[in-house]
Amino acid sequence: MSIDLAPEPETAELALRTAAFVREVVVPEEERYGGVAAAGGDALRQRLQAAAKDAGVFAPHVSREYGGRGLDMRSRASVFEEAGWSLFGPLALNIAAPDEGNMHMLEAIAAEAQKERYLRPLATGAVRSCFAMTEPAPGAGSDPSALITRAEKVPGGWRIDGRKWFITGADGAAYTICMARTSGRPGDRGGASMFFVDADNAGMKVVRHIETLDESLYGGHCEVLFDNCVVPDEAVLGEIDEGFRHAQVRLGPARMTHCMRWLGIARRSQHIAVGRAADRRLFGSRLGDLGMVQGMIADSEIDIAAARGLITQACWELDQGRSGAQSTAIAKAFTAEAVWRVVDRSLQICGSLGVSGDLLLGRFLREVRPFRVYDGPTETHRWAIARRVVSRHVRSTEESA
């Protein structure tokens, strides 16, 4: 049986147009300003998104009903990778975290009235959003069941109390999707629910921006306080006490789209390093003729190809309606480490130039390092991967006994 890994012609054409758009329109902005804040913040986002709409590459992931192309996960992979060639690329296409993951989840589980109120303006780029689950210790982090933030039923709605942090994009978001415990106690596997909280709710406050290595996402990584935050019954997203289950709709796909985008940065870093190795002459030959440098280039090519293959496998499973828990964990764990290795090697090949601000490699290194922690630390994924393998072996042994 033959297996064709090539994207559909329409998707391939979109990926090519995305690549051209990012290189011709987005990269010059990135090289001119470096960071999001210096480039004008939300004004930059609106300017680049308008250009992406003109180029016909905007919001390829959402359904046509909301102005997108309705790409499945495998089709997204090649397009998102091309967008990820620049740190500003995902922002321009409206496929950056956390908005991209929120759009995916809202299309799947939101009520029709909620889609019109929250999804449609998000899909068009009119607003930004955030997803508030992570909490300071001992609250929810790698273990979501440690959720502390609570939502209590009050007449006509719910009162949310708790503290969240590392909430990406919270500053300036039009609304937050907040995960809060509606039953049980911290450590219980169920009992969580999701709520829409509008930015003008007096009970929600962005306390501070947490200083982090990465700076490429709008609205920062923030600490957010929910204090006597009352929302109406229609603010419930999905079903009460089913928040953890509903969040799985977002979790696996969002991990894979992160991998796709960062793979673009890895490819660009390799491109910069190979260009330097081909041009730089020392010790009587090109840098790229030295065996040690050739080994580094080869290892990076292997890392990029292997990551792409694992992403493709995981996306295929998600498109088939499978949970993809194991395949997405494997792809995320490998890709996060592989992208870091590729960018680090690229900087090393470029030597002092790589360390300098004349190239963006130092910036890329700072941006990709947190991905080994975000969306689950590599160590947590490795633990979960091994646990599933051992459990599967135990079940198989018991069934054959």
Q: What pairs with residue 226 in β-bridges?
A: 162, 204
341-353: per-residue pLDDT in tens? Answer: 999 999 999 999 9
Q: What pairs with residue 177 in β-bridges?
A: 131, 196
Its pTM stands at 0.94
232-290: per-residue pLDDT in tens? Answer: 999 999 999 999 999 999 999 999 999 999 999 999 999 999 999 999 998 889 999 99
Element (H, E) at 120: helix 120-124
Q: Retrieve residue 166's tokens.
A: 């590392």
φ, ψ of residue 61 in degrees (nearest 5): -85, -25
36-90: per-residue pLDDT in tens? Answer: 766 677 888 999 999 999 999 999 999 999 999 999 999 999 999 999 999 999 9
Q: Per-residue pLDDT for 1 more than 60?
A: no
Spatial separation of the C-alpha atoms in residues 75 and 87, rounded to whole Å: 21
Domains of the chain: 9-124 (1.10.540.10), 129-237 (2.40.110.10), 244-400 (1.20.140.10)
Calculate the CA 127 to chain-centre distance.
Answer: 18
